[in-house]
Structure 1
């Protein structure tokens, strides 16, 4: 493997690239066209991110629940809190809206004011039937008032299902067809049919309508992701190009860099399509990431080219040195960056695994593109003019490097004390970090649909279903009176939890059957006694298909399994764990485990469990990244002491960032989990550049430590500053996102990389100087396994296309 990193190898690579320019251009065009053809396979995710492995017990319980009761996240709710709704004109308009919604093939069924049914008793023969609560007619004020009175005062069955117990809010429940709830057709229905219909109703009737439910939230959220991909790419290109131009003051260099990273973006989309992966909130970040990571490659290569031109003015020799001298170091830095992302491949989470695969592949791809495109394009251009080289002598950059050198030379104690203080504060902050498993926390909080979520949380205690599956372990066990009483006790316990809504279950239907038996008297809305159950049983046998469907919603066909649905507010993992901790003893007391098997599930709970799972894997993936990069450093420098010294300035920024998260109240969640592996993989690049130059200077300066450290600092300080600034502002682009998690990711990675730059420029050389006697000798720093920065020898290459 060391042969790959040898100077002779890179000279051969330079020769191949520069003598086969047209062939290489044709290959890049061909690959780009092929990958562009794969864009058609890209598809956007229409389901929540499942962060758990397929064989996880919570996933298995959830899938078992879906097998028995079907899709649980197919409910859209449409609500109105306006007293004028119960006037003849607006009441009629609301019922017309219900009929229109019912007519769509995407809608399975609708429960609304206009089509409510009540359970009615008939004696010849004995039976219950679901009969319409209202008939088609022209309404007057008295009739509407009578309907309102009956709904709110005589039909407790519909409480928190059609009307709120907290106010006069009424809602329509729209059940989306299960076949399209996780498909593109759902998006088409919500965006092109439902939203325009609701907006027209609001405008025509001057009533504010609130819309929510998981299919609706997921659709608008995924649309925001789609909209932001273009925003991120445009923002990353604009910011990096402006910074690049500010540094180089060259339109030509800026344009070449933009062409390079744009091809990289096209390849990134192509790889996603080729692998048939979905565009998720994570994979949507990869194209702008490629821009942000690709620009530093361009900086290193173009900066080296211009330095060579300034030194001797020979274009062929300059291009050859760009490849042979910078190629080694740039490859290594890209490999370490890709390694930070690649550690996600080793997790069992499909979401993170796909992100890690695509990101690591494309980071290596952007390295290859940069190494090939920049020398090839420059080979066809005139030599840079003097004005293009002025940036190499910028005084303010020199002033920055002089300040760094002065700090390292005279203020090392200050650097160490500052580092220790930062470390202590960070440890304090780390203890304040919370874990968030909220499905809604990262969503755009200024969006209209998010404000609607808050309305439903206030009126109905949430929109995210939490399902409780009850296995009675015997056929028809769910319909026994003893089981119903146990379920009623559990419902009471759940209702006492402020974050959860009153549950929906077969208990409601059992209570309603008793009310119907007593001719609709609401005071009899309660579970029947054993004796009453005997009287009611003959009426239940003849229940109509509508009542049967209602029963099947909460009891499976065998009668063994019962379902209890409650809706939860947008709470985090800590709160949910507290609720579970308090509920389970009550559940086990009500339903003895030896006779019943109870499970909690639902999309929101699965997401929270997935977040906890990812946090545990964060330590594993970050540890793998550290070990992997430490092994790479060990192979490079063949020195255990150098590994320790190189890791300290890279781990400190991670701890500082974790401390910041604690103090700023930024929780650990799927989006912020990425920060540490990404930042570590990128920040270690500066360490590699510095130590590689430092070792070269040691050999050149006869192992004189101080001279070598300061020489390496001057040589690498400018490049480290350039690339860190580009990365800082590049990742800051993510802060324009409307997604809280993406904002946090951008801000935290930017801050970490800024700390990492200062740590590598101040703390790393200080450690080298303070520990010079123990590390700076020929025994400790043996001949490295690879020549990261080659010596000044090279073969001249004639640029002639074959």
Structure 2
């Protein structure tokens, strides 16, 4: 009954499409126009990608910190490492450059060498006062030498914050207004104001100026994503159209396919805008993905049309058969591919959910467009000329098909042994895979801003903020000497950790106050004793300067304190070790009944998010395998067929994972996407092969060997064609400047190549070897869905000519 319904459905669909072609084309144009109106709502993320759910413990802790101390990712740092900076003209120019940054609306404050002030003792008024290091303009080398001595020797409070006393590297801190950090105003300031001004200063003064900080990194990284979307789309169109033309040798067929996939890209961008999703590094991959996945649909449909025309010369009948005979097959394969992407919707990560929604909808959209546009356009075109049909007579890959058949006939044991060796070697390789949480690993390695990140890591031990918030559970509990000593003990551990920078907190300010009390002598830069504490604090209470400085490190109630440090770009394993060491120290130093201490910061949120995302991607892959397995079991009405269909599709995934281990490619969000994408696409070949195999069984009176070889000959060429398109299509991602995208393209291409060989060699070998238990008349008696019509030729037939 279902089989009859399916046949009737496609017959009705074909008649509707061909009889209402003008209306359908107008409808497609209108829908495309409506989607184009949604492009204006596409926006690129201005906030940092948070891969954790909103209610995750790490996010809750981070939000608690932000509520207490405000946005912590608003710092842009500008640095110079050049001995010629300490000359009168260049130092004056540097100070002027830094002062002019204060005039921009996006800037809250700028702290440079010129803004640094000494904390000095005012004995007459029993308070501390601030005195600038540079009182007037620099006019002599003597002034510069005095400044260097004071900065690099006498006042350690500022060391490793605005300068490195060992390497003489100088930097300026530019604090953006917290209200614009996560808006487009940040991008406008960085790209239109900061960068041009910095470049002009570099050129004028012949200095190498370095710029970094999280707002700057996020801006430059997102701009690279924007630039690469166009690059990927153009590259994917170029590569796939060249391959298409090579197969068909027809400008007309190639042009029609390009029109279809371009409309598909327009719909994809419209879906993103309609859903108000932000364009991320993942959703940016979908437009070229649609091109790569759409072209094989075009190959099947156009090839079927040309084959039918050559067979009986009736154009209308040919187009009707294209829809009725190929529509069901392409629907099934597109549904399985979309299902692989749709499993991301079931994860708790917003980033993955949006990727899954857009990708799955776009894949179904490109199927609908191919099915509607290609037959309709050919109704308006003249009858194909002989030169358009020449490719149907080509037998240049006959040798490849003959080789496959010989291998399955004569070398099945070799195939199994080789597969087993690959499996064992791959499993060994899998144990060598590491999880990466690196911030800059996937960024353009040769870009200026990544080189600047490394510069600041070398000079100041990192730019990724890590925050420790101490809750004393009582008002003004922070300034108790016992609390300060506990915080100092924790800071000693941070200083001993090479991956972390020198911490800044109220402890540093109190040490600086003691040094000021003893007239600036460096040896007194330490916490006061119990005896000293009372009269040093009395000086501090009378000083408005101290209160202003204190506000950066202690909340208004005096209950909460923050310790700020910066972390190098390290992997997940190292970060977990550092976090464990910090937590061990915290548990030892701060009694839980008297203190609540949390470790947070955007660096920690990023690394935790990476690990969480990898876990969710593994779940999505498992769901994809389960969903597609159930789908295939339903199609072929056999639970046993799941075994046959999964083995040749899971083996390539294992091989790819093993290669990642041997090649040192870590598991990270970009690389683990490979498995779900490749599995969803590669299983299409299995569906085509098994469907054709079942048809051959019925045609050949259930002679299994004859049917296997017949299915292999007739599907081998189509698998080869589509695999070539997919291989080179995904290879376009290797031109990316993002390491993760390069890895994604290379690994998916390799996995699909392995999958093609596995489906053409291992799958038929398994069918022959397991013929009595699986590949028999009882198992494959009546499928629930008749993918390939029994009375007609398959799309693969066409490509075998």
Same fold (TM over 0.5): yes
- Distance in 1, matches of 2:484 and 2:252, equals 77
- Distance in 2, matches of 1:574 and 1:81, equals 32
Q: Contact conserved, 1:3 with 1:9, CA < 8 A, in 2?
A: no
Distance 1:524 1:663, change over 3 A: same
- Distance in 2, matches of 1:299 and 1:576, equals 49
- Distance in 2, matches of 1:547 and 1:62, equals 27
- Distance in 2, matches of 1:90 and 1:73, equals 30
Q: Which moved more, 1:396-405 or 1:624-633?
A: 396-405
Instruction: Work out whether 1:758 is the aligned partner of 2:757.
Output: yes
SS at match of 2:397: helix
- Distance in 1, matches of 2:274 and 2:82, equals 51
- Distance in 2, matches of 1:314 and 1:439, equals 60
1:49-108 Cα offsets, whole Å, 9 max, x none, are: 211111110010011111111111111111111111111111100110111011111111
| Structure 1 residue aligned with 2:357 | 357
Q: Which moved more, 1:96-105 or 1:617-626?
A: 617-626
In the TM superposition, residue 133 of structure 1 has moved relative to its aligned partner by 2.3
- Distance in 1, matches of 2:614 and 2:29, equals 42
| Structure 2 residue aligned with 1:285 | 285
1:257-276 to 2 correspondences below 5 Å = 257-276=257-276
Q: Contact conserved, 2:114 with 2:132, CA < 8 A, in 1?
A: no
Q: Contact conserved, 1:66 with 1:72, CA < 8 A, in 2?
A: yes
| Structure 2 residue aligned with 1:740 | 739
Instruction: Work out whether 1:566 is the aligned partner of 2:565.
Output: yes
| Structure 2 residue aligned with 1:401 | 401
- Distance in 1, matches of 2:679 and 2:4, equals 25
Distance 1:791 1:3, change over 3 A: closer
| Structure 2 residue aligned with 1:379 | 379
In the TM superposition, residue 672 of structure 1 has moved relative to its aligned partner by 1.0
- Distance in 2, matches of 1:573 and 1:530, equals 41
Q: Contact conserved, 2:14 with 2:320, CA < 8 A, in 1?
A: yes
Q: Contact conserved, 1:5 with 1:787, CA < 8 A, in 2?
A: no
| Structure 2 residue aligned with 1:783 | 782
SS at match of 1:678: helix
| Structure 1 residue aligned with 2:584 | 585
In the TM superposition, residue 467 of structure 1 has moved relative to its aligned partner by 1.0
| Structure 1 residue aligned with 2:37 | 37
| Structure 2 residue aligned with 1:232 | 232
- Distance in 2, matches of 1:682 and 1:443, equals 27
SS at match of 2:773: helix
| Structure 1 residue aligned with 2:217 | 217
Q: Contact conserved, 1:679 with 1:753, CA < 8 A, in 2?
A: yes
Q: Which moved more, 1:155-164 or 1:259-268?
A: 155-164
- Distance in 1, matches of 2:334 and 2:615, equals 27
Q: Contact conserved, 2:704 with 2:776, CA < 8 A, in 1?
A: no
| Structure 2 residue aligned with 1:141 | 141
SS at match of 1:775: coil
| Structure 2 residue aligned with 1:336 | 336
Instruction: Work out whether 1:157 is the aligned partner of 2:145.
Output: no
- Distance in 1, matches of 2:5 and 2:114, equals 75
| Structure 2 residue aligned with 1:667 | 666
Distance 1:220 1:356, change over 3 A: same
- Distance in 1, matches of 2:30 and 2:214, equals 43
Q: Contact conserved, 1:306 with 1:389, CA < 8 A, in 2?
A: yes
Q: Contact conserved, 1:166 with 1:459, CA < 8 A, in 2?
A: no
SS at match of 2:502: coil
- Distance in 1, matches of 2:533 and 2:643, equals 76
In the TM superposition, residue 742 of structure 1 has moved relative to its aligned partner by 0.3
- Distance in 1, matches of 2:389 and 2:182, equals 56
- Distance in 1, matches of 2:781 and 2:72, equals 63
Unaligned residue ranges in structure 1 (runs of 5+)? 795-802
1:16-56 Cα offsets, whole Å, 9 max, x none, are: 00000000001100100000000000000122221111111
- Distance in 2, matches of 1:232 and 1:717, equals 29
SS at match of 1:128: strand
SS at match of 2:175: strand
Instruction: Work out whether 1:93 is the aligned partner of 2:108.
Output: no
1:341-740 to 2 correspondences below 5 Å = 341-544=341-544, 546-740=545-739
- Distance in 1, matches of 2:389 and 2:415, equals 34
- Distance in 1, matches of 2:473 and 2:438, equals 33
In the TM superposition, residue 653 of structure 1 has moved relative to its aligned partner by 0.6
SS at match of 1:477: coil
- Distance in 2, matches of 1:329 and 1:99, equals 67
SS at match of 1:503: coil
Q: Which moved more, 1:257-266 or 1:714-723?
A: 714-723
Q: Contact conserved, 1:257 with 1:298, CA < 8 A, in 2?
A: yes
Q: Which moved more, 1:180-189 or 1:515-524?
A: 515-524
SS at match of 1:131: strand
- Distance in 2, matches of 1:107 and 1:550, equals 19
Q: Contact conserved, 1:121 with 1:127, CA < 8 A, in 2?
A: yes
In the TM superposition, residue 616 of structure 1 has moved relative to its aligned partner by 1.8
In the TM superposition, residue 726 of structure 1 has moved relative to its aligned partner by 0.4
| Structure 2 residue aligned with 1:102 | 102
- Distance in 2, matches of 1:549 and 1:769, equals 81
- Distance in 2, matches of 1:298 and 1:79, equals 54
SS at match of 2:754: helix
- Distance in 1, matches of 2:756 and 2:166, equals 55
1:637-687 Cα offsets, whole Å, 9 max, x none, are: 011111110010000011011111111111111111211111100000000
Q: Which moved more, 1:651-660 or 1:528-537?
A: 528-537
Q: Contact conserved, 1:164 with 1:170, CA < 8 A, in 2?
A: yes
- Distance in 2, matches of 1:133 and 1:793, equals 89
SS at match of 1:514: helix
In the TM superposition, residue 166 of structure 1 has moved relative to its aligned partner by 3.4
Q: Which moved more, 1:83-92 or 1:384-393?
A: 384-393
| Structure 2 residue aligned with 1:800 | none
SS at match of 1:623: helix
SS at match of 1:276: coil
1:488-540 Cα offsets, whole Å, 9 max, x none, are: 11111111111111111111110111111112222211111111111112221
- Distance in 2, matches of 1:309 and 1:697, equals 24
In the TM superposition, residue 480 of structure 1 has moved relative to its aligned partner by 1.1
SS at match of 1:567: strand
1:540-565 Cα offsets, whole Å, 9 max, x none, are: 12222x53332121111111111111
- Distance in 2, matches of 1:25 and 1:77, equals 55
In the TM superposition, residue 272 of structure 1 has moved relative to its aligned partner by 0.3
| Structure 1 residue aligned with 2:298 | 298
RMSD: 1.3
In the TM superposition, residue 311 of structure 1 has moved relative to its aligned partner by 0.9
Q: Contact conserved, 1:435 with 1:612, CA < 8 A, in 2?
A: yes
- Distance in 1, matches of 2:592 and 2:349, equals 31
SS at match of 1:778: coil
- Distance in 1, matches of 2:177 and 2:591, equals 36
SS at match of 1:470: strand
Q: Contact conserved, 1:229 with 1:285, CA < 8 A, in 2?
A: yes
SS at match of 1:14: helix
Q: Which moved more, 1:30-39 or 1:132-141?
A: 132-141
| Structure 1 residue aligned with 2:113 | 113
- Distance in 2, matches of 1:746 and 1:238, equals 16
Q: TM-score, normalised by structure 2?
A: 0.97
Instruction: Work out whether 1:194 is the aligned partner of 2:194.
Output: yes
In the TM superposition, residue 181 of structure 1 has moved relative to its aligned partner by 1.0
Q: Contact conserved, 1:202 with 1:208, CA < 8 A, in 2?
A: yes
Q: Contact conserved, 2:151 with 2:165, CA < 8 A, in 1?
A: no
Instruction: Work out whether 1:315 is the aligned partner of 2:315.
Output: yes
In the TM superposition, residue 587 of structure 1 has moved relative to its aligned partner by 1.8
- Distance in 1, matches of 2:470 and 2:488, equals 13
SS at match of 1:170: strand
1:27-66 to 2 correspondences below 5 Å = 27-66=27-66
Q: Which moved more, 1:427-436 or 1:380-389?
A: 380-389
Q: Contact conserved, 2:106 with 2:186, CA < 8 A, in 1?
A: yes
- Distance in 2, matches of 1:692 and 1:133, equals 82
In the TM superposition, residue 393 of structure 1 has moved relative to its aligned partner by 2.4
| Structure 2 residue aligned with 1:9 | 9
